[in-house]
Amino acid sequence: QVQVVESGGGLVQPGGSLRLSCAASGSIFNTNAMGWYRQAPGKERELVATITDGGSTHYADSVKGRFTISRDNAKNTVYLQMNSLKPEDTAVYYCNVGSYYSGTYYAGLRYWGQGTQVTVSS
């Protein structure tokens, strides 16, 4: 059984910060990376950031310079540090365990978290 659990969402003012956490457990095979997605009301799910087993990181243009993805291998946990938050960052954020090859992240269809709400508003 595989469990992927996000936490850390909430309400924050523009310019503020939040840190999201994602803990993965169980038997996960044929993956080499983890990623954060987000989905706002009426919009498609968007890939925000990824990190490979080797520590390589990639970011969507909309969050470069503001968000940082990192990992703690001892805890099997990844984090998304979100700084300088904007109202357009408002969304449900989802953690995924997948694969990264040749510049593309492939989401693991069976390895999604339940999502955590991030709301940026004054």
How far apart CA 57 and CA 66 sit, in angstroms, is: 14
User: What is the CB-side half-sphere exposure of residue 26 using CA atoms within 13 A?
Assistant: 12
**Arithmetic mean of pLDDT, 92-104:** 96
pLDDT the model gives residue 28? 84
> Quick one: pLDDT band at residue 73, thresholds 50, 70, 90?
confident
Cα torsion through 73, 96, 55, 74, rounded to 10 = 0
